[in-house]
Structure 1
Amino acid sequence: MILFIDHYDSFSNNLISWFLSKGLNLSIISYNELEKINSFDNIKGVIYSPGPGHPSEYTESLKFYKKIPEKMPFLGVCLGHQLLLYSEGGKITQISKKPIHGRQITLSNSCPSKFFLENDLNGTFVLYNSLGCKIDDPIFKENMLALAFEEGFVLATEHKVFPRIGVQFHPESFASPGGNTILNSFLRLIS
């Protein structure tokens, strides 16, 4: 079973539909009900969904992240990506004065990765955010890798040791034609 943590974003439904279309057993739980999870015995991976606001507002998700077994695969999308970086000690700041909703980006500057295949991060993806983590954050000299970035902000990351990946963009969006490769990377981690 994959545990899907919903942070109340309309894009959550797109992610849920994508994973269910692959025939996966998905357990969907709201971020404010995480205290109900007492064991990771039947869980193969954890997904943190997109959502509104700053990661510091999601104390339940931050506490729960610390309980996830280190070797358990983790995927964070948009807010989930920010929660991953914030939980690992990164600083999340405003990217611009207005949200970057619906802006497509083309990535080709990805760095070597342990958990993504060589070309997984090459493609067109869509952003829906106003917050992010800067490339010069000390976290990227410590326990996290910045795999793709634009204008000084990290758009894809992974833990240096454990199978934890995050993307700032929305791979599940129709405006992200390269998105399936990102989601398939997570499926490889849980198989």
Structure 2
Amino acid sequence: MKRYLVLADGTVYPGTGFGATTGTVGELVFNTGMSGYQESITDQSYNGEILMFTYPLIGNYGINRDDHESIKPSCKGVVVHELARRASNWRSEMSLDDYLRLNDIPGIADIDTRAVTKHIREKGAMKATIVDELTHETVPQLKATVLNSAVVAESSTNNAYPNPATGPNVVVVDFGLKHSILRELAKRHCNLTVLPYNTTAGEILELNPDGVMLTNGPGDPKDVPGAQAMIREVEKQVPLFGICLGHQLFCLANGADTFKMKFGHRGFNHPVREIATGRIDFTSQNHGYAVDRDSLAKTDLMITHEEINDGTVEGVRHRNYPAFSVQYHPDAAPGPHDADHIFDEFIDLMAAHQAARKGSNFNA
């Protein structure tokens, strides 16, 4: 089945269709990971985006029940060079083609994804569409399409839910969370309560948490302005930890600025340096926005981590409150687990805060 990938600048790439037969529009982005396509497709941070994989063969181990990062994927399309004709893995339950059909997501194969990646690197991420027919209206209609900015509201849970355990009481504010974040906290016996993205500080503090987690999520952090007031109040009361979009929102709430990157970081081999120790972790990343380094000078935040390749701010810590954040994904899934110690630092921060509070109460 003939299908076309059309970019907003008029560039057309013919290919072969798979997945759902519906047309789609989204921002075209590329992922450089060599594996983990299931986790990436189900990552809510790709909500509203057409996801292109640079690795040449995708779908070779199928789709299984264990590796989902959300219940239902929300990316707008999938672009690959070669779609595996047959999945071969003992955990496989269906093919990638069948999975995309089931979730109404169109795909296109037989694309020179390396050439498209070079084009995006030069021109920047841009809108694109996947269509079965080309007309003289395809590009003008694509240019006129306004992409949805309410992607966090679509990705977040609508209702609070618990994940009970006997350890620290942690509130997780869901901006489009990955299940692997919950898994990492559960490994550390955290008693979790997951709340919607628009939960207020008062509602969070009523739960008497030992700590608050701000998750990853899709889109522009400036499209979630209500979160900033919540963060400013919560960080004064309890330890706070942000990942990815949560990192950007934490920085915005404390007076820093963010900007849209030319083509973002999406892959599993990004080297990040911890400034204080020189430690280097290879990290999983998925973001199209970043924190403006210069804007941090006027805030109470200090830079703790940076990306080695381009100097992007990868982590900050508040100078006065027990609060910190990282841009990368210490939970990996997919990707290396070099940085999962960051979750242990959050656990230690909560324990230290509790000890300080008990000592203060005793002295009082």
TM range (shorter): 0.7 to 0.9
Partner of 1:187: 347
Partner of 1:129: 287
- Distance between the aligned counterparts of 1:6 and 1:105, measured in 2? 25
Partner of 1:162: 321
| Cα shift at 1:99 | 3.4
Structure 2 counterpart of 1:25, which letter?
N
Partner of 1:142: 299
* Structure 1 unaligned blocks of 5 or more: 113-117
SS at match of 1:52: coil
List per-residue Cα deviations over 1:58-106 (Å, max 9, x = no partner): 133222112215151111000000001010111100122x232114222
Pick 1 or 2: higher relative contact order, CA cutoff 8 A, min separation 6. 1
* Structure 2 unaligned blocks of 5 or more: 1-168, 352-364
Question: Is the 8 Å Cα contact of residues 73 and 189 (structure 1) preserved in structure 2?
Answer: yes
Partner of 2:275: 111
In structure 2, which of residues 170, 175, 185 is the aligned counterpart of residue 2 of structure 1? Answer: 170
* Structure 1 residues 83 and 28, CA gap change in structure 2 (3 angstroms): same
SS at match of 1:28: strand
The answer to whether 1:79 aligns with 2:245 is: yes
Structure 2 counterpart of 1:146, which letter?
I
| Cα shift at 1:38 | 6.0
Question: Is the 8 Å Cα contact of residues 254 and 299 (structure 2) preserved in structure 1?
Answer: no
**Bigger Rg over Cα:** 2
* Structure 1 residues 38 and 126, CA gap change in structure 2 (3 angstroms): closer
Question: Is the 8 Å Cα contact of residues 49 and 80 (structure 1) preserved in structure 2?
Answer: yes
Question: Is the 8 Å Cα contact of residues 170 and 176 (structure 1) preserved in structure 2?
Answer: no
Structure 2 counterpart of 1:124, which letter?
F
* Structure 1 residues 76 and 35, CA gap change in structure 2 (3 angstroms): closer
SS at match of 1:20: helix
* Structure 1 residues 106 and 34, CA gap change in structure 2 (3 angstroms): same
Question: Is the 8 Å Cα contact of residues 282 and 336 (structure 2) preserved in structure 1?
Answer: yes
Question: 1:1-150 residue pairs with structure 2 within 5 A?
Answer: 1-9=169-177, 11=178, 13-34=179-200, 37=203, 39-40=205-206, 42-96=208-262, 98-108=263-273, 110-112=274-276, 118=277, 122-137=280-295, 139-150=296-307
Compute the TM-score of the two structures, normalised by the length of structure 2.
Answer: 0.46
SS at match of 2:345: helix
* Structure 1 residues 21 and 141, CA gap change in structure 2 (3 angstroms): same
Partner of 2:332: 173
Compute the TM-score of the two structures, normalised by the length of structure 1.
Answer: 0.85
| Cα shift at 1:134 | 2.6
Identity of aligned residues (%): 20
Question: Is the 8 Å Cα contact of residues 173 and 199 (structure 2) preserved in structure 1?
Answer: no
| Cα shift at 1:52 | 0.5
Question: Is the 8 Å Cα contact of residues 140 and 146 (structure 1) preserved in structure 2?
Answer: no
List per-residue Cα deviations over 1:136-156 (Å, max 9, x = no partner): 22x235311111223232001
Structure 2 counterpart of 1:7, which letter?
F
| Cα shift at 1:40 | 4.4
Question: Is the 8 Å Cα contact of residues 244 and 327 (structure 2) preserved in structure 1?
Answer: yes
Structure 1 counterpart of 2:289, which letter?
L
